[in-house]
Amino acid sequence: MLFHVKMDVAVPRDLDPAERETLLATEKARALELQRAGTWVHLWRVVGQYSNISIFDVGSTDELHEILWTLPLFPFMKIQVTPLAQHPSDLAAQP
């Protein structure tokens, strides 16, 4: 199942700089791990915002939920999830 996921991040400005650095490094490592596994299929930055637009390929909504909860930045995120279905006019859907 494919999902469009928008993540808006709001890390507190008064967070200890060392803690912030560790948090961002662990977030990056987790994102790379999920991409290498083929779960986090696409990842784009939203220009001018601390946000991203991503495509996840998972087996269920529950699996996506569990994955999102494992992100180190999850406590600082506002997340919007949209399930995706193939469009009949998509070139890949043509015989």
CATH for 68? 3.30.70.1060
* pLDDT for residue 78: 98
pLDDT of residue 95: 82
What sign has the CA pseudo-torsion 62, 6, 73, 24? positive
Rounded to whole angstroms, the Cα distance separating 41 from 35 reads: 6
Q: Is residue 61 part of a domain?
A: yes
H or E, element range at 67: helix 61-69
Residue 91 lies in a domain: no
Task: Quote the CA–CA distance of 79 and 67 in Å, as a whole number.
Answer: 12
Q: How many domains does the chain have?
A: 1
pTM, two decimals, is: 0.91
pLDDT, mean of residues 53-72: 98
40: phi then psi, degrees, rounded to nearest 5: -100, 95
In a domain, 44, yes or no: yes
Domain that holds residue 59: 2-85
**pLDDT tens for residues 1-44?**
999 999 999 999 999 999 999 999 999 999 999 999 999 999 99
30 vs 43: CA distance, rounded Å: 13
